[in-house]
Amino acid sequence: MTFFFRLSPLCLLVAGCADPRISLDDFVAMQQAPTQSDEDSQEAAASVEVFDSALADFGFGPGDVLDVSLTGLEDATTSNVYRCRVDDAGAIDLPLVGSVRVMDLRESQAEDVIKRGYVPNIVRQLTANVTVIEHKRTEVLVTGAVGVPGMVSLRHNERNLLFAVLAADGVSSGASGKVTLHRVRRPGQDVTYDLGDPQQLEGALAEDPLEKGDIVMVAAAQPNTIFVGGLVNRPSPQLYPPGVEMNVLQVLASAGGLREDVYPVEGTLIRRMPNGSDMRVKLDFPRIKRGEDANIVLAAGDILWVPETVGTKVLDFFNRNLFIRGGATITYNATGTEFLNSNSRSQSLQGRQGGTLEDQFDPFSFLNQASAINH
């Protein structure tokens, strides 16, 4: 009775305190992506245009070498081939018409522009064919978490971070997605983008073209660390390789499982939100094990805490201080085995009744098992 009255105020205190945690269902609903607004849709469409422009088929640029074949300039069957280099202004020089701008044009587009330069002012009919002999390229260094680090060669309209990374065989499985551009001709103007973020990718594509010798550094991802504490067998930070996803039950298993001597049934997930606040989510382990609640995937930096409750504290108290056998309650300060053996020696029962009290009252070594659990 005395124990009950000591425990009752604690129960009332716990019952009277509002639980600051949200339910798992509410947390899952919050993680779902909101419906895209019209404004968001317009921004997404604008981003697509930027990406399409940046990833368009290759066009001619300064330094490219072209062979231009003109049929019909002298007569209807004679073809003349002129080798031209695209100048810094993006133009080539052809007989009779002079400068023809071909900057950013593809073969078929350049052929149409050249033909319009001759027909009908110079000849009535002309066939033009353009062949690329050599593309001028820019060499940049790509380092870090990519497939093949080293020097890569980029055509003039590929001189951005995205193409540089792709030329190095793309990011590796251990990449974080963050890329830093170090311009050797612009000291102190390093800039970092997260290519996994559409807005930042758009900013990366809008950067001035890469120049020879520029360095692109792809950062490696930090290993996923999930902090597990409380009533688990191995409380400690759990370290997982980048990209590995671990759900609640898997993380508990990695921590040696829940302590079976006090039977914890609930936990708390603490997640740092983008605004800097900590979200606390109540987890019901039995419901998760039965599939009634979502076995959610934990994120890097999450804290999974299995707290003490009134129930676990009561069980822990009984495990450490009470031994119940045959309807009788015996209080012990050491282990139950030590208690029986010490009493056996003090009462000089050994030998007269066939062994120690441990042999008589605990023939199946229950107390030894309990002692191992407690320690």
Strand duo 224-230 + 303-306: pairing: parallel
pLDDT at res. 284: 95
Which residues, 6 or more positions from 65, have their beta carbon under 8 angstroms from its beta carbon? Answer: 83, 84, 85, 86, 132, 133, 134
CA-CA-CA-CA dihedral for 113, 119, 123, 126, to nearest 10: 50
Residue 174 pLDDT class (50, 70, 90 cuts): confident
pLDDT at res. 46: 52
Handedness of CA 148, 149, 152, 154 (dihedral sign): positive
Instruction: Give 253 or 344, the one with higher predicted confidence.
Output: 253
Phi, psi of 132 (to 5 degrees): -80, 125
Q: Residue 139 — left, alpha, or beta (φ > 0 → left; ψ -120 to 50 → alpha)? A: beta
Cβ burial, residue 82 (10 Å; 0-12/13-18/19+): middle
pLDDT at res. 350: 42
Q: In this model, does residue 253 exceed pLDDT 70?
A: yes
pLDDT > 90: percent of the chain: 45
**Per-residue pLDDT tens digits for 33-43:** 555 555 555 55
Residue 91 pLDDT class (50, 70, 90 cuts): very high
- For 137-220, which CATH class? alpha beta
Instruction: Give 159 or 36, the one with higher predicted confidence.
Output: 159
pLDDT at res. 37: 53
Domain ranges of the chain: 65-134, 137-220, 313-374
A 10 A CB-CB count for 264 gives 20
Q: What is the mean pLDDT of residues 264-273?
A: 93
For 65-134, CATH gives: 3.30.1950.10
pLDDT at res. 148: 94
Average pLDDT, the chain: 80
**Per-residue pLDDT tens digits for 300-359:** 889 999 999 888 888 888 888 765 554 555 544 444 444 445 444 444 444 444 444 445
Question: Residue 353: what residue type?
Answer: Q
**Per-residue pLDDT tens digits for 186-239:** 888 899 999 888 888 888 888 888 999 999 999 988 778 999 999 999 999 998
Does the predicted model carry a pTM greater than 0.75? no
Q: In this model, does residue 56 exceed pLDDT 80?
A: no
Q: Apex CA 327: angle with CA 324 and CA 332, to 5°?
A: 30
Phi, psi of 40 (to 5 degrees): -65, -40
